[in-house]
Amino acid sequence: MIKTIIKALSIIFLFIVLIIFYLSIFGIKTDKFNNKITNKILQINKKINVDLGSISFLLNPYNLTINIIAKNPRIKLEDNELKIESIKTNVSLRALLKNQFLIDDLQISTKANKLNNIILLIRSFKNSAELFLLDSFTKDGSLTTDIKIYFDNNGNLKDDYELKGFVENGKFNFFNKFNIKNLNFYFNISRKKYFLTEIKAKLNDIDISSPLIKFNQKKDLLEVKGTIVTKEKDFDTKQLSILPDSMLTNPGISAIRFSSINDFSFNIGQKLKFKDLNIESKVFLNQLDIKNNLLSLKSYFPTFNEIIKLENHKIKINYTKNKLYIKGNGGVSIDDKLDSLKYQIIKKKDQFFFDTEINLKNKLLLIDFLDYKKNEGLDASLLIKGNFKRDNSLKFDLISFKEKNNKILIKNINLNKDFKLTSIDIFDVKYLNRNNILNQFILKKSKASYDIEGVNFDATKLINKIMSEDENTSSLFDNFDSKIDIKINKTFIDEINFIDNLSGTLNFKNNKINEANLKSTFPNKKKINLTISTNNKQEKITRLFTDYPKPLIRRYSFIKGFEDGYLNYYSIKKNAISNSLLIIDNFKIKEIPILAKLLSLASLQGIADLLTGEGIRFTNFEMKASNKNNLTTIEEMYAIGPAVSLLMDGYIDSTKLVSLRGTLVPATTINRTIASIPILGSILVGKKNGEGVFGVSFKVKGPPNDLNITVNPVKTLTPRFITRTLEKITKN
């Protein structure tokens, strides 16, 4: 009996096991519960129309639940039909036996559907700001996903869900600025947390990829964090307009090639507002070509070919609200010869702060106003710190240039939008210029004025500039109004000659010298004084006196062998027109090519030989002239000496034409002429016998480099010549 009972129980147990096994593996199919499931779904969302078809029920013996699976059901949401792989849910076995239908969760596995339809389905269950944003940004693409929705003990939908799947060929548009297409990625989305992985796409036609982008919902904010990687390629600068405060959208950029790794984060608040954007980038810049015809740069680097090239730069970029930080280094070229460049740029609000260091070994550098030249192949470094404002004003806190023992140091220099100086605190230099003269001086700002003190200063370039320009202006400054006190031990006025203990003041008004008082001495103790004053008629009066004019005359290459004499120069100037008087007394010259040719043509070979031998002495030289722009009009130039006298007038256009005419007379002729004047002649010259008057008139005309000289003998001197001669003889 016991064996029979055991056998029966074993058969029953085996049968139950087989039933459990069958129900666990194969389950059963029925549509008995379709209405209940459909009604439950309609309780959740009345917009969904579900046709479940035949449903499979599988037993889960471990937790005593029934897994309900609907294969290939049809779901319609409004007018859109979704392609569903399956719908799954779990029902408590206890609830089923009690004829209760308690769903723990609902799992929906889809086939490939349009992104907008899937988002619409999700929003129908649980709408949120982030889903609304996602729907508004989504333009195209397909999505395959597994959706899991949870219910509480009362059968109500929990505020929780899970989504897993992948997106293919997505297309998004964010505020008409960020256009994304060919987007492919995997996603894992749960309550308040989204994860996107293995992302590949085109962002504004730029190929990008990303290992991970995270979304995290916090109160009214959606936090977004991730990494975007771009491969090395040649970019169109228009593609880079998406970058915040981008300095790479300059229309002068002709080529740019780089790759980058970009970590970013930002928040999306209410009303779709982006804020708290933070970007940390590593950029590997292979090439950046900027075409710009910078005339100011050309003046310092003669080999500049209008293209600035950056090569092989490693750059770190940090961007936060109203602040951009850039740090990098690499090669730089303006003439196809690379040098090294380091830089740090910080953008705060409307200002850019920069700190750069450039190696200039392969660059030819000219600083014209200092008459300095650095040849290629010499190591040199240039350090620049300052800031640049949106209004194009520029301030340099520090400019430091070093090359061997040469140094130039500038502190706190301000420039306007035209790169003209508005102020400077310190200008400290020590360098050998192109004349191989050591310049060592310092300019310091002292309240509203400036002090210049130094050991050596080569003023050759400055003197040439002042003498050749129409206005005594400083092209470096913008409306400079200040006083400069000068104390320099040794000042060179050309390559050889110098003056000692230069001291005095220069007063500038509207960028022009308004007042000046300078004095110095030559090594031979001879003096030189220069004064400039402006009267109440706004006439500028310049006076120069020296009892050693030889170094000043020496700079005129067509006059050689100048000796002795006193020089007195007076000029009055107004409205760019100057009238001047130059007087030189008691001097001798050995060579003036034009005068030598005149003497030869006039058959005065003896005097011509004297000119190229011992030299011709003049007791007095006086010239009245006016200047306007490049035109010098000589009203009268008169020179008298023991050997020859000269009277001349005309004009000189330094760029086009020279036209001069005058009279040249040997001293013996003058003496005979004056002696023939009754009474006065006897007093001035004495009684002399002569055979008549002899001299020559001449003309000099032609381009400055190709003058044509003609002479004609004269028997009668002009009254003007005689009058001027009498005036000078009487004065002497």
Lowest-confidence pick of 188-197, 371-380, 603-612? 603-612
Indicate the pLDDT class of residue 503, thresholds 50, 70 and 90. very high
Higher pLDDT, 558 or 310: 310
Q: Per-residue pLDDT for 509 more than 90?
A: no
Q: Highest mean pLDDT: which of 424-438, 506-520, 634-648?
A: 424-438
Buried residues in 299-308 as b, exposed as e (16+ CB within 10 A):
eebeebeebb
**Percent of the chain scoring above 70 in pLDDT:** 75
Indicate the pLDDT class of residue 101, thresholds 50, 70 and 90. low
User: Tell me: the pLDDT tens digits for 301-313?
Assistant: 888 888 889 999 9
**Percent of the chain scoring above 90 in pLDDT:** 24
Higher pLDDT, 531 or 71: 531
Distances (CA, A) of 609 to 173, 613, 678: 94, 6, 34
Averaged pLDDT for residues 378-392: 87
Q: Highest mean pLDDT: which of 81-95, 409-423, 468-482?
A: 409-423
Q: How far apart are CA 405 and CA 131, in angstroms?
A: 68
Q: How far apart are CA 513 and CA 571, in angstroms?
A: 14
> 178, 186 in Cβ contact below 8 A?
no
Q: How far apart are CA 641 and CA 586, in angstroms?
A: 9
User: Tell me: the pLDDT tens digits for 178-207?
Assistant: 788 898 999 898 877 888 999 998 887 788
Averaged pLDDT for residues 48-72: 72
- Cβ-Cβ contacts under 8 Å for 411 (sequence gap 6 or more): 397, 398, 399, 424, 425, 426
Which 3 state secondary structure label does DSSP give 504? strand
Give the pLDDT confidence score for residue 681 in this predicted structure: 39
Give the pLDDT confidence score for residue 67 in this predicted structure: 76
Lowest-confidence pick of 231-235, 534-538, 552-556, 724-728? 724-728
User: Tell me: the pLDDT tens digits for 215-229?
Assistant: 888 877 888 899 999
Residue 596 gets the label, from left (phi > 0), alpha (psi -120 to 50) or beta, of: alpha
Averaged pLDDT for residues 297-323: 87
Residue 98 gets the label, from left (phi > 0), alpha (psi -120 to 50) or beta, of: alpha
Higher pLDDT, 34 or 280: 280
Strands 449-458 and 482-492: parallel
Give the pLDDT confidence score for residue 348 in this predicted structure: 84
Higher pLDDT, 584 or 87: 584
Beta bridge mates, 262: 228, 281
Length of the chain: 732
Higher pLDDT, 206 or 101: 206
Lowest-confidence pick of 142-151, 255-264, 276-285, 543-552? 142-151
User: Tell me: the pLDDT tens digits for 656-712?
Assistant: 788 888 888 876 545 444 444 444 334 333 344 333 346 788 888 888 778 888 888
Q: Per-residue pLDDT for 488 more than 90?
A: yes
Packing angle between helix 719-731 and helix 667-675, nearest 10 degrees?
Answer: 90
Give the pLDDT confidence score for residue 689 in this predicted structure: 38
Give the pLDDT confidence score for residue 683 in this predicted structure: 36
Q: What is the average pLDDT value for the chain, to the nearest integer? A: 79
Q: Which of 37, 51, 125 is nearest to 82 (CA)?
A: 51
Lowest-confidence pick of 78-87, 504-513, 665-674? 665-674
Q: DSSP letter string over 646-694? A: EEEEEEEETTS-EEEEEEEEEHHHHHHHHHTSTTHHHHHT-----S---
Q: Read off the amino acid at residue 88.
A: K
Q: Per-residue pLDDT for 441 more than 90?
A: yes
Averaged pLDDT for residues 580-603: 77
How crowded is the C-beta side of 337, counted as CA atoms within 13 Å? 12
Which 3 state secondary structure label does DSSP give 554? helix
Averaged pLDDT for residues 445-449: 86
Give the pLDDT confidence score for residue 672 in this predicted structure: 45
231 Cα distance to chain centroid = 28
Give the pLDDT confidence score for residue 346 in this predicted structure: 92
Q: Per-residue pLDDT for 408 more than 90?
A: yes
Q: Read off the amino acid at residue 369.
A: F
Joined together, the tokens standing for residue 394 give 């520029």
Provide the total of helices (H) and of strands (E) in the chain, helices listed first: 13, 41
DSSP state of 473: B
DSSP state of 732: -
Indicate the pLDDT class of residue 1, thresholds 50, 70 and 90. low
Give the pLDDT confidence score for residue 429 in this predicted structure: 95
Joined together, the tokens standing for residue 10 give 């074993």
Indicate the pLDDT class of residue 373, thresholds 50, 70 and 90. very high
Q: How far apart are CA 447 and CA 359, in angstroms?
A: 35
Averaged pLDDT for residues 406-433: 88
All structural domains of the chain with their residue ranges: 1-110, 590-731
Q: How far apart are CA 307 and CA 294, in angstroms?
A: 10
> 566, 549 in Cβ contact below 8 A?
yes
Strands 631-640 and 48-51: unpaired
- Cβ-Cβ contacts under 8 Å for 636 (sequence gap 6 or more): 622, 623, 624, 647, 648, 649, 724
Q: How far apart are CA 324 and CA 281, in angstroms?
A: 11
Indicate the pLDDT class of residue 400, thresholds 50, 70 and 90. very high
- Cβ-Cβ contacts under 8 Å for 63 (sequence gap 6 or more): none
Packing angle between helix 593-601 and helix 605-612, nearest 10 degrees?
Answer: 160
Give the pLDDT confidence score for residue 250 in this predicted structure: 56
Give the pLDDT confidence score for residue 608 in this predicted structure: 62
Q: How far apart are CA 530 and CA 542, in angstroms?
A: 7
Lowest-confidence pick of 171-180, 323-332, 561-570, 597-606? 597-606
Task: Record the pTM.
Answer: 0.71
